[in-house]
Chains A and B, each alone.
Chain A
Amino acid sequence: MSSFEEINIGDTLGPLELFVSKDQCRLYAKTMGMGDIAGRFTDDEAAKKEGLPGMILPGNMSLGLLSKLVTDWIGSSNAWLSRMSTTYRVPVQPDHTITIHGFITNKNPADRTAEIDVWIENEEAERLVTGTATVEFRK
C-alpha cells in the first residue's frame, strides 16, 4: 500500500463491486451461528413474515465487507485498522450487486492516522450502510 506520506485527503478506496448471492449470505449466517437466531438471514419466507422484502445480510456481514475494503487497501503492511463505525440505514439484500466505497476525509500527521468514509451502495446508488474507519500507519 501507499505510505502515510503518499496518501491524500480525497483519495479513494475501491470501489469494490460485489454480487453477494443468497448462498453466500446463508454461509455467513450459518458460519456465525446466526441462522438459529433469525430466519431473516437465511430464508426469504421468514424474512417476509417480518415485513422485509426478502432475505437480508446480517449487519455484521456488511461491517465485514466494509472492513475488507480497508484491509485490502492495507494489504500485508503493518498499518492497523483501529476503528470502524457503521450505521445500517437500509437492509442489504442478497442476489443484488452492491458497491463498496471509501474516501479519505482526513489525515492527522500527529498520530499518523487517516480517517476514511466508507459506504455500501445498491444498484440505484442508494447508501444502504454508511461508516467511518480509522487507519494507523505504524512506523
Chain B
Amino acid sequence: MAVNYDPALINKVFEVTEPVDVKAEKIQRYCAALGETNPIYTDEEAAKEGPYGGIVAPPSFAVTFRNGRHFFENVPRFGRRGFDAGKDVEFVAPIRPGDKVTLTSHVKEIFEKTGRTGTMVFVVIRSTLKNQKDEVLAHIDHRFMNRT
C-alpha cells in the first residue's frame, strides 16, 4: 500500500522559526544533563584559551532546536505513534552563548517501509540552523518514524 500525501509537501519550505536566544545557563544545563566536563564547553576562563576564544555549546546542542508549530502545521500525521528514527547532522560552525538561532525547514522525503514489526512511514525533515548574523550553524536531516 502506497503512503498517501500531497506531493506538493515535498520541498515546501516552512515559515522560519522565531529566534531562540542561546543562554549561557542553558548550555550549562545541557552539559550537566550529558555529564559533559570538557572545559571548552564548561569553563569560561579555560575556553578563552581554546580554539573558539570562549565557551561554545557542544556540537550536539544543535539538535535540540525544534520546529514546533511549524512542524505540526506542515507535516501530516501518519499513524498513531511517532518516534525519532535518527539524524544526519552537518555541524558547520559552533553555537555560542548570545546567539539567536532560527530554523528553516522543509520536508525532504516521505517513504514507507515494511519491517519485522510492521509498516512504518518515514518523514525526513531537513532543517538549516542560522544565527543572527545569517551564518549557517548546522544542517540537520531528521528522520521521523510513524507506525501505522
**Does B60 lie within 8 Å of A64, measured CB to CB?**
yes
**Chain B at the A interface: SS class:** mixed
A to B contact number (C-beta, < 8 Å): 91
**Does B46 lie within 8 Å of A76, measured CB to CB?**
yes
Classify chain A: how many residues form its interface, as a range: 20 to 34
A84 at the interface (CB under 8 A from B): yes
Q: Which residues of B contact A60 (CB under 8 A)?
A: 60, 63-64, 84, 87
Which residues in chain A, 42-95, are within 8 Å of chain B measured between CB atoms?
50, 58-61, 63-68, 71-72, 75-78, 80-88
B32 at the interface (CB under 8 A from A): yes
Select A71's contact among B33, B38, B63, B84, beta carbons within 8 Å: B38
**Does A88 lie within 8 Å of B86, measured CB to CB?**
yes
**Does A76 lie within 8 Å of B33, measured CB to CB?**
no
**Does B90 lie within 8 Å of A83, measured CB to CB?**
yes
Q: Which residues of A contact B (CB under 8 A)?
A: 18, 24, 27-28, 31-32, 50, 58-61, 63-68, 71-72, 75-78, 80-88, 131
